[in-house]
Amino acid sequence: MRITEETVQNVARLARLAVGREEAARLAPQLSDIIGYAEQLQQVDLEGVEPTSHPLSRYNALRPDEVRPCLDREAALANAPDSDGEQVRVPAVLEG
Partner 1 sequence: MSVHTVKEIVASLRRGEAKPSEWAARILECIRRADGRVGAFLHVDEEGALARAKSLDGQPVEGTLFGVPYALKDNICTAGLRTTAASRILENYVPPYSATVADKLASAGAVLVGKTNMDEFAMGSSTENSAFQPTRNPYDLERVPGGSSGGSAAAVAAGMVPFALGSDTGGSIRQPAAFCGVVGLKPTYGRVSRYGLIAFASSLDQIGPFTRTVEDAALVLEAISGFDPHDSTSVDEPVERFADGLDTGVRGLRVGVVTDIQEEGLHPGVKQAVEQAIAVLQGAGAEVVEVSLPHSRYAVATYYLIAPAEASSNLARYDGVRYGRRADADTLLEMYERTRSEGFGMEVKRRIIIGTYALSSGYYDAYYRRAQQMRTLIRQDFDRAFERCDVIALPTAPTPAFKLGEQLDDPLQMYLNDMYTIPANLAGIPGISVPCGLVEGLPVGVQILGRAFDEQTVLRAAHAYEQLRGFEMPVPALEGSA
Partner 2 sequence: MSGVSVSEARASYETVIGLEVHVELKTRSKIFCGCSTSFGAPPNTNVCPVCLGHPGTLPVLNEGAVELALRAALALNCRINQDCKFDRKNYFYPDLPKGYQISQYDQPIGEDGYVEIEVGGERKRIGIVRVHLEEDAGKSMHAPDGSHTLVDYNRTGVPLIEIVSKPDIRSPEEARLYLEAIKSIMEYCDVSDCRMEEGSLRCDANISLRPFGQREFGQKTELKNMNSFRNVQRALEYEAERQTAVLSAGGVVEQETRRFDEATQTTVSMRSKEEAHDYRYFPEPDLVRLHISDEWLERVRGSLPELPLAKRDRYVAELGLPPYDAGVLTADRGVAEYFEAVVACGADPKTASNWVMGDVLASLKATGERIQACPVSPANLAGLMKQVEAGRISIKQARDVFKIMWDTGKDAETVIREQGMEQISDEGMLAAIVDEVIANNPKSVEDYRSGKTKALAALVGQTMKATKGKANPAVVNKLILERIGSPDSGASGGGPADA
The item of partner 2, partner 1, none sharing an interface with residue 12, based on CB under 5 to 8 Å by kind, is partner 1
Given candidates 18, 22, 67, 85, which one binds partner 1 under the rule CB under 8 A? 18
Site string for partner 1, 28-67 (x = CB under 8 A): --xx-xxx-xxxxxx-x-x--xxxxxxxx-x--x-x----
Give the separation between CA 63 and CA 72, rounded to whole angstroms.
23
Of 21 and 89, the one with the shorter C-beta distance to partner 2 is: 89
> Which of 10, 44, 45, 41 has its CA nearest to residue 28?
10
The item of partner 2, partner 1, none sharing an interface with residue 41, based on CB under 5 to 8 Å by kind, is partner 1
Single-letter amino acid, residue 48 = G
Asked whether 27 and 8 are in contact (CB, 8 A), the reply is yes
